């Protein structure tokens, strides 16, 4: 009986609740009929704005008309719902596109929002606006309707929206001081210096957006949080970006307002952004670099081994050369053959070419590497600049000899340093005779060794020029000295390499009109920077052990060391030329004192 009474009481409460809800709904409908059309429109805007702010991926699809992959929806959702986000993306995953989409959605849904995109180079940040927003996304009518204008010049690149929001690209340096933003996006942030981020970029976020509702004391606690979004490919573990990633990961796991993820190339293949065949082709290319692949495609940070002989930080700090050397093409050579070229050498400068020789090409074999080095006088020593590295694979020794003599002529080189044992002996023998270059219609003189009588006798031409500095690397002591000298000279800052490819792209855009070139021409222009990156990756992957008191370097796994070897030959001879320079200066000083 008691159970029945309780049931009756609960049923009466439920019935009364339904009646109250119906009454409120009826009153609401009556009130809504009284509202003006303008008021109903405003209420609708409020509801839809709240809905789309909570579901930005739906806004992108339903209002802007975009098609999003599942992972893009998740990224866009998280960009709106956390204050600090870090996203590591494989190459070709469309990270610039999703950045552009986020910026547009945020700018539309939050009027008067200031968005700043910072990158290691202004050209990189600028591309998101000029390529992704202006050329691609503004083709969608609702996006074009929301944008008032796009201003693009050398000094300013900015998108201005009808509602007062802006998206602006800046370069990550001290000149960027003074910008203000509620959203700071750091694109390829691994290329941004940590002190620039701390002193300059992070300070952009000191101003909050001031929507009108904050004027009401009732809502003053609803101040919006500013956002930082870090996007990049993975990099080396000893870089500050890895420490930042670790901090983000720990904060996310602690339930704080953070989110981080790494999406490798397999996701791109799954969604059709990258083909499986393309992946296999990239893995089997002659210049395949497993370390770069691990970082840029698999989103795995690379940590140099405890046994690593060369440290990434020591090599990276010496990437200072902006302008690469570009060899003359065969067509340009023929067209300008009768014109006398003006020398580009500095007074006292010596130019070397280091050669590491391979007779076979392919993924499982080494490549022949030519390293071009300028020795610039600096008191009693030489600064070594490396403006160009070239790879040949699968070429006959005679073809390699002709290419070497082409580079020698183009670079105005003085000497060639090469290992004349093993594979190097075949190349030396071809260099030791007169060669006809059919592509350039020119005959090159024979060369011979300048420091080894036995090797000099191998050149049958009595007029052979003493060009080749012969190195025999079969002895442990020679390998030890080359390795120790190279590391020491990097630590002293005496060897300078080309800047990274992103900074190099900015130089090429400005000086060589990179965007107007064909894809093949662009690849050729970028090669010196890319080859320098591969050189560094090779070197940090070399491990050492001590044998009989000598350092022995060896590759890890399937990695190579041919670029290292070519550079070490150049530096080994540079050391000897340095000793001669010092002796010459000492003799001059003594003679001057005696007189």
The per-residue pLDDT for range 550-584, each reduced to its tens digit, is: 999 988 876 789 999 999 999 999 999 999 988 87
Binning pLDDT at 50, 70 and 90, where does residue 589 land? low
Residue 4: predicted pLDDT: 43
* 3-state class (DSSP) for residue 34: helix
Superfamily of domain 81-277: P-loop containing nucleotide triphosphate hydrolases (3.40.50.300)
Q: What is the DSSP letter of 118?
A: E
CA of 90: how far to CAs of 97, 205, 301, 506, in Å?
A: 13, 28, 12, 22
Residue 170: predicted pLDDT: 92
Does residue 394 carry a pLDDT above 50?
yes
Find out whether 198 and 225 touch, Cβ atoms under 8 Å: no
Binning pLDDT at 50, 70 and 90, where does residue 122 land? low
Percent over 70 (pLDDT), the chain: 90
Q: Which of 28-32, 416-420, 543-547 has the lowest mean pLDDT?
A: 28-32
Residue 27: predicted pLDDT: 54
Helices 95-109 and 37-54, axial angle in degrees (round to 10): 150
| Per-residue tokens: 38 | 């303008």
Q: How distant is the alpha carbon of residue 416 from its chain centre?
A: 31
Residue 377: predicted pLDDT: 94
Distance separating alpha carbons of residues 561 and 538, to the nearest angstrom: 6
Distance separating alpha carbons of residues 448 and 353, to the nearest angstrom: 15
Residue 25: predicted pLDDT: 52
- The stretches of 348-422 forming alpha helices (DSSP H) are 397-411
DSSP per residue, 542-559: -EEEEETTEEEEE--TT-
Residue 321: predicted pLDDT: 97
The per-residue pLDDT for range 198-216, each reduced to its tens digit, is: 999 999 999 989 888 888 8
Q: 177, 148, 184: which is closest to 165 by C-alpha?
A: 148
- The mean pLDDT of 338-366, rounded to a whole number, is 77
Question: Which residues touch 227 (CB under 8 Å, ≥6 apart)?
Answer: 79, 82, 83, 84, 85, 182, 183, 184
The per-residue pLDDT for range 96-106, each reduced to its tens digit, is: 999 999 999 99
Distance separating alpha carbons of residues 348 and 331, to the nearest angstrom: 31
The per-residue pLDDT for range 59-68, each reduced to its tens digit, is: 999 999 999 9
**HSE of 75, CA atoms in CB hemisphere, 13 A:** 26
| Per-residue tokens: 297 | 């495609």
Q: Which of 257-261, 339-343, 366-370 has the lowest mean pLDDT?
A: 339-343
* 3-state class (DSSP) for residue 231: strand
Question: Which residues touch 545 (CB under 8 Å, ≥6 apart)?
Answer: 307, 551, 552, 554
Look at the block and give the residue holding tokens 């060669």.
435
Residue 3: predicted pLDDT: 46
- The mean pLDDT of 282-288, rounded to a whole number, is 79
Q: Which of 282-296, 446-460, 478-492 has the lowest mean pLDDT?
A: 282-296
DSSP per residue, 389-403: EEEE-S--HHHHHHH
| Per-residue tokens: 338 | 């009768």
Does residue 251 carry a pLDDT above 80?
yes
Q: What is the mean pLDDT of the chain?
A: 88
> Structurally, what CATH architecture does the domain formed by 312-329+347-584 represent?
2-Layer Sandwich (3.30)
Q: What are phi and psi of 187, to 5 degrees?
A: -90, 135
Q: 360, 363, 212: which is closest to 285 by C-alpha?
A: 363
Where is pLDDT greater, at 289 or 266?
A: 266
DSSP per residue, 485-545: HHHHHHHTT-EEEEPPHHHHHHHHHHHH-GGGS-HHHHHHHHHHHHHHHHHHHHHHT-EEE
- The mean pLDDT of 404-413, rounded to a whole number, is 97
How many residues in total does the chain contain? Answer: 595
Residue 590: predicted pLDDT: 45
Residue 172: predicted pLDDT: 87
Residue 39: predicted pLDDT: 79
The neighbour count for residue 401, using CB atoms within 10 Å, is 24
For 482, left (φ over 0), alpha (ψ -120 to 50), or beta? alpha
């Amino acid at each position: 009986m008691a159970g029945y009474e309780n049931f009756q009481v609960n049923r009466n409460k439920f019935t009364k609740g339904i009646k109250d809800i119906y009454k409120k709904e009826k009153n609401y409908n009556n009130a809504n009929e009284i509202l003006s059309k303008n008021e109903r429109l405003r209420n609708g805007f409020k509801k839809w704005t709240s809905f789309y702010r909570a579901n930005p991926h739906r806004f992108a699809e339903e209002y802007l008309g975009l098609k999003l992959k599942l992972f893009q929806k998740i990224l866009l959702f998280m960009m709106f719902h956390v204050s600090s986000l870090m996203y590591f993306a494989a190459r070709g995953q469309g990270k610039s596109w999703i950045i552009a989409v986020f910026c547009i959605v945020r700018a539309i849904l939050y009027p008067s929002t200031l968005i700043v995109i910072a990158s290691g180079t202004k050209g990189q940040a600028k591309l998101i606006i000029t390529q992704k927003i202006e050329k691609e996304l503004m083709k969608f009518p609702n996006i074009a309707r929301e944008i008032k204008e796009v201003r693009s010049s050398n000094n300013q690149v900015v998108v201005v929206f009808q509602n007062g929001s802006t998206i602006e690209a800046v370069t990550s340096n001290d000149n960027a001081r003074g910008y203000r933003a509620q959203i700071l996006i750091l694109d390829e942030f691994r290329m941004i210096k940590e002190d620039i981020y701390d002193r300059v970029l992070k300070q952009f976020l000191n101003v909050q957006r001031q929507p009108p509702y904050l004027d009401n004391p009732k809502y003053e606690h609803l101040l919006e949080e500013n956002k930082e979004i870090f996007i990049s490919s993975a990099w080396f573990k000893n870089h500050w970006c890895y420490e930042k990633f670790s901090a983000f990961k720990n904060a996310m796991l602690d339930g704080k307002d953070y989110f981080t993820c790494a999406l490798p190339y397999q996701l791109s293949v799954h969604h059709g952004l990258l083909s499986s065949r393309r992946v296999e082709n990239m893995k089997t290319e002659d210049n395949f670099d497993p370390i770069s692949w691990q970082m840029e495609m698999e989103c795995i940070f690379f940590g140099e081994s405890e046994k690593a002989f060369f440290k990434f930080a020591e090599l990276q700090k010496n990437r200072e050369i902006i302008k690469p050397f570009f060899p003359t093409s065969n067509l340009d050579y023929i067209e300008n053959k009768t014109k006398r070229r003006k020398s580009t050498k500095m007074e006292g400068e010596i130019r070397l070419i280091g050669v590491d020789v391979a007779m076979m090409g392919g993924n499982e074999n080494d490549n022949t590497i030519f390293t071009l080095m300028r020795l610039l006088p600096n008191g009693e020593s030489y600064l070594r600049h490396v403006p160009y590295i070239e790879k040949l694979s699968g070429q006959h020794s005679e073809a390699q000899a002709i290419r070497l003599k082409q580079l020698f002529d183009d670079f105005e080189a003085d000497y060639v340093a090469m290992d004349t044992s093993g594979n190097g002996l075949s190349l030396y023998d071809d260099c030791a005779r007169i060669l006809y270059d059919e592509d350039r219609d020119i005959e090159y003189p024979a060369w011979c060794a300048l420091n080894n009588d036995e090797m000099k006798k191998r050149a049958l031409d009595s007029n052979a020029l003493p060009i080749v500095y012969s190195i025999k690397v079969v002895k442990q002591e020679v390998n030890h000295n080359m390795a120790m000298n190279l590391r020491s000279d990097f630590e002293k800052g005496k060897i300078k390499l080309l800047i990274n490819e992103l900074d190099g792209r900015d130089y090429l855009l400005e000086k060589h009109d990179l965007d107007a070139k064909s894809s093949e021409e662009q690849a050729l222009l970028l090669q010196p920077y890319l080859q320098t990156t591969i050189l560094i990756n090779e070197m940090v992957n070399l491990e050492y052990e001590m044998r009989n008191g000598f350092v022995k370097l060896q590759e890890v796994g399937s990695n190579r060391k041919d670029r290292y070897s070519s550079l070490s030959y150049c530096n080994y001879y540079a050391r000897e030329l340095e000793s001669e320079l010092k002796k010459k200066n000492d003799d001059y000083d003594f003679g001057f004192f005696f007189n």
